[in-house]
Amino acid sequence: MSHEEKPMEADPNQSVKAHNESGADSLNMQRVVSRRWMLFKAAAAFNGLVGLALAIPIVRYLLAPWRKDASYKSWVSLGPAESFPTGETRLAVFKNPSKRSWDGATDNVACYVRRTGTDQFSVFAINCAHLGCPVRWFPQSQLFMCPCHGGVYYADGSRASGPPERGLFTYDWQVVSGELHIDAGQMPTLSNTAKLVKISHGEGETSCG
Amino acid sequence: MRFIALALAVFSVPLVAGCGLRPGYPPNPMLRPTAVTDFATLYNQNCAACHGQNGQNGPSIDLANPEYQALVDDATLRKWISGGMPGTEMPAFAQSAGGMLTSAQVDALIAGMRRNWQRPNAFDGVSPPPYAQAAVGDPVRGQSTYQARCAQCHEPTRDSANQQITSPRYLALVGDQALRTIIIAGRPDIGQPDWRHDSPGGQAAAPLSVVDVDNIVAYLASLRNLGQPAPASTASSHTTPAGR
Amino acid sequence: MRVNGTMSRVYKWFESRLQLEAPVKEAALHPVPRNTASWWYVFGSAAFTLLFLQIVTGILLALVYVPSAGEAWSSLNVLNHQIPLGWFLRGLHGWGSNFMVAIVLIHMAQVFLFGAYKFPRELTWTLGVFLLLMTLGMAFTGQVLRFDQDAYWGLGIGASIMSRVPFVGGGLVHLLLGGPVIAGATLSRFFALHVFIIPGALLLFALLHVWMVLKLGINEWPMPGRLVRRATYIDEYNKLAHEDGIPFVPGAFWKDLAFSGAVVAAVGVCTFVFGPFGPGGQPDPSIIQTVPKPDFFFLWIYTVLSYLPPQMETPFLLIAPLVAIATLLAVPFWAGEGEKSWHRRPVAVLAVSTIAICWGVLTHLGATTPWSPHMNAWSSDPIPVHYLQHATPLVRQGAVVFQVKQCRNCHSIGGNGGERGPALDDVATRMTIDQLRYKVVTGGGNMPAYGKNLSPAEIEALVSFLETLHPANEPPAYDASRRAVDESQSQPRPQSARPPAPPVARQTANRSANR
């Protein structure tokens, strides 16, 4: 084995010898002064204990963002319901409820509000159900198109073509004293809604975070 | 060693030349899409597809026609760009109507069109029929005026009957105002004469009168309503949402 | 003489304390087989050089860059435009990154083809695999630090991929983003990854990697028939290095040095000519007029994601990377002995060339993204003038419908427009008017159904426009039975028949002249 470890020595035999000697020495040392070794082991174990004690808070700190979806969500106003004309789909922008002062413009979140009746809304996430790219609404052809991989959705959010497995993500909504509120705060992805997804031609009716 | 020297030489070229010439110097920071007010950019992104490059030879009306620019005032242009033109395929571009353009951008488009395509005295001193229709036209009189002044060019042949301007299919997609605009201002890019030359051969006969224009539009409008997809002209503006 | 004497005294003063001379001499002068002094053996050292270029330029950029979601984008623009030559530094770092990924990949392919991963260099290869992964990790996190729209939506793609992990996907998304959405916390943790965590590990691994190269010797030039055996290899190698060897410095090292210099020079020239990468538009998610795209080395993944069938996607995304990494790690343990020469390893050559070709094709596709609708085509791409020169009024309106209903976003005409669907320049030769109408209304084959979004008049106008799209020498497709009926009734033919001949002929003659 020492050949492997030190193949470049000019004289391999010599190195083998040296290696063996030093190994023997350390063995002798261990036998002779076993008290030192015991103290060493105790100190190492102590360090291990301290490390473990510190590891728990560190891991807890690292996992801090890992929370239940619901804890990130809250009801956000999109403004007066009257600002969304009936029969049309409009882009709406709201502030992420868990925003921080250094978020800059990234605290904006966009969504599409489709008003189908006096008190009938659908609120779609901007994120394509495929890989989260921002879909764009085309009122002329009544389609949502995704610029990344060509996912296309009909006006009701259901999948029209392309790689997405399902329709657009939707937000739960309610009208409170004339204002449209949605339950939002989390980037919608497949995992938030996985249990509700219908793989074949999703209808885009599941809620998301 | 020669290689190193060569490499050093290659590397030092940009350092020496870099004082004046900087091909890699980055472009200015990207503007927000709503902050773009350059006319050429806005026109090419939003209008060129239908109204043609440089405002002509597109399938829709040629905005570069000086007579058109003289005929239509700013408020009207703003109305059509912002909210779309009813009865036609012209969509709404203003954010307030679900489009992507701010009102400043719409204004920039109008100002740019005026700057590029407006000519002084576009009508040679003749005053054209007004852009907006004032009186109700008479379709019957309109038909006879049409036969006299338009039909020679716009005569449906056996093959193209369905594709001519008298076909309800065509008229369903072109509103009265759009018809009126073309009759008055013409489309020089495709050889459609203006109201002064609306006569067989495009010769300068007597210009169409205001009443003539009203009547021809009324006649064409009556043909539109004869067609089977009668209310279809407005179907596109409030389409029922597509379901599966 | 006097100066020399002083110099040597100073040198000795330091050397007696540092005691670096012996190990450095040993490393520099150790014998290597003569034929390893080859231009094929320069990629590793070039990658190492680039690593240091990246560290230096990265530290210099960190003097100005602000790792805050609110300020990062503006600080990049300050670097580009207000700090003298800040743009050059950004360019060096960006191009250095691209070169580093490329050189690391080339190095890996060369090592693989030369059998250098075999006994006793298995661990060197293993470390190399991790070095590759970390280099790619640096490239991705670096793209995030260039905090623009591509970075923002690239993170969205990353999160969407992460969310597909069963059971813990949602939690992993939170961990990746540092919260529920892409925001300040996300940039902070990617900054830590890009500046502390990955570079620290990368540097450590790279030093170990080089250490092992020095200790185990540079792989000898593979000869067909000279097999690697565990029992005898080390003796054989030592014999080769000593009997037909030269000292590493300068015999082999000058080529490393020259190539490293050339690569760094190339980074400089690319920066000077092409400039830095981005930043693109500002990372405001309310700006939806954006077409996110990953950096060059991730384009192939972007392509794969668009071509995989939906049901294959999640398994592929989650399993394929693991399989690939496991395969790479297993290579030296599975084939640790035997033939080194590529002349006798056809499978290895085939594997490398297949991967290279696939990578090239996928990257090319990723650069052109034929699957993506062109979001602005409907309002920005004019219809070629000669297509409409002699068009009837209805055909003209059909062209308007074609544009306004965003058909152009997926179908090109005259070379402009989306490539998601087929180009329609000669669609009339492929489909009869009835087929066109049916296709428009019902969609299918990855095309949305437009039946509810178009009025009957719009459909008629649209198909009459499509019907004119055919070359001069090729008449449009027609329905034979329908034509027979029409002709027997000798009535005016419906629009399925040919449009008037002369205009079409002229129109298409122009078109072919333009082609």
Set out the domains of chain C in order of their start, with CATH numbers: 2-368 (1.20.810.10), 377-514 (1.10.760.10)
Type of residue at B2: R
The confidence score (pLDDT) of residue B115 equals: 92
Q: In this complex, which of B92, B241, B242 lies closest to A116 when CB atoms are compared? A: B241
Compute the nearest-CA separation of B82 from chain A (Å): 14
Model confidence at B110: pLDDT above 70: yes
C 236-265 → B contacts, CB under 8 A: 257-258, 261-262, 264-265
Model confidence at A113: pLDDT above 50: yes
Binned at pLDDT 50, 70 and 90, residue A146 comes out as very high
Q: Are A63 and A76 in contact (CB under 8 A)?
A: no
- Tokens 């109204």 belong to B51
The confidence score (pLDDT) of residue C452 equals: 83
User: CB under 8 Å to B32, separation ≥6 — which residues?
Assistant: C281, C282, C284, C287
The confidence score (pLDDT) of residue C89 equals: 95
Model confidence at A29: pLDDT above 50: yes
Instruction: List, for chain C, all residue ranges whose pLDDT scores fall below the cut of 50.
Output: 493-515
**Taking all residues of chain B, what is their mean pLDDT, rounded to a whole number?**
81
User: CB under 8 Å to B213, separation ≥6 — which residues?
Assistant: B129, B137, B180, B183, B184, B195
Binned at pLDDT 50, 70 and 90, residue B17 comes out as low
Sign of torsion, CA B125 B130 B131 B137?
negative
* Higher local confidence (pLDDT), C374 or A10: C374
Binned at pLDDT 50, 70 and 90, residue A98 comes out as confident
The span from the CA of C464 to the CA of B117, in Å, is 32
What angle is formed at CA A160 by the lines to CA C318 and CA A152, rounded to 5 degrees? 70
What count of other Cβ atoms lies within 10 Å of the Cβ of residue A164?
25
Compute the nearest-CA separation of B239 from chain C (Å): 6
The confidence score (pLDDT) of residue B231 equals: 42
Which tokens sit at C264? 């760094």
Binned at pLDDT 50, 70 and 90, residue A189 comes out as confident
Q: Does B243 touch chain A (CB under 8 A)?
A: yes
Which residues from A are below 8 Å from C402, CB to CB? none
The confidence score (pLDDT) of residue A204 equals: 40
Nearest to C267 by CA among C384, C387, C96, C514: C96
The confidence score (pLDDT) of residue A208 equals: 42
Q: Are C496 and C432 in contact (CB under 8 A)?
A: yes
Model confidence at A188: pLDDT above 70: yes
Q: In what order do the strands lie in the sheet with A108-117?
A: A89-95, A108-117, A120-125, A170-171
The span from the CA of A59 to the CA of A63, in Å, is 6
Which tokens sit at C80? 């580009």
Q: In this complex, which of A114, A139, A154 lies closest to B244 when CB atoms are compared? A: A154
Which tokens sit at B51? 């109204």
C 434-473 → A contacts, CB under 8 A: 443, 446-450, 452-453
Q: In this complex, which of C216, C241, C448 lies closest to A161 when CB atoms are compared? A: C448
Question: How much is the ipTM here?
Answer: 0.85
Supply the DSSP string of C299-367, one letter for each residue.
HHHHHHHHHS-HHHHHHHHHHHHHHHHHHHHHHHHHS-SB---GGG-HHHHHHHHHHHHHHHHHHHHHH
Three-state DSSP at A124 gives: strand
Q: Does C502 touch chain B (CB under 8 A)?
A: no
- Tokens 């010898």 belong to A17
Residues A153-185: tens digit of each pLDDT: 999 999 888 888 889 999 999 999 889 999 888
The span from the CA of B70 to the CA of B119, in Å, is 8
Model confidence at A21: pLDDT above 90: no
The residue among A84, A137, A142, A143 with the most chain B CBs within 10 A of its CB, best to mutate, is: A142
Alpha helices in chain B (DSSP H): 2-17, 39-46, 48-51, 66-71, 74-83, 103-117, 139-149, 168-171, 176-185, 210-226
- Write phi, then psi, for A116 (nearest 5 degrees): -105, -10
- Write phi, then psi, for C365 (nearest 5 degrees): -60, -40
The confidence score (pLDDT) of residue C17 equals: 95
* Higher local confidence (pLDDT), B164 or C158: C158
Which residues from B are below 8 Å from A204, CB to CB? none
Which residues from C are below 8 Å from A69, CB to CB? 170, 180
C 422-481 → B contacts, CB under 8 A: 448-449, 452-458, 460-461, 464
What count of other Cβ atoms lies within 10 Å of the Cβ of residue A110?
18
Structural domains of chain A sorted by starting position, each given as residue range(s) with its CATH number in brackets: 2-62 (no CATH), 70-196 (2.102.10.10)
Rounded to 10 deg, the angle between the C253-274 and C43-62 helix axes is: 40
Compute the nearest-CA separation of C182 from chain B (Å): 20
Compute the nearest-CA separation of C166 from chain B (Å): 30
Structural domains of chain B sorted by starting position, each given as residue range(s) with its CATH number in brackets: 33-117 (1.10.760.10), 139-232 (1.10.760)
Q: Are C476 and C436 in contact (CB under 8 A)?
A: no
Compute the nearest-CA separation of C165 from chain B (Å): 30
The confidence score (pLDDT) of residue B240 equals: 34
Which tokens sit at A200? 């074949």
Binned at pLDDT 50, 70 and 90, residue A119 comes out as confident
- Number of alpha carbons in the 13 Å side-chain half-sphere of residue B235: 18
The span from the CA of A47 to the CA of A162, in Å, is 56
Q: Are C86 and C80 in contact (CB under 8 A)?
A: yes
The confidence score (pLDDT) of residue C254 equals: 92
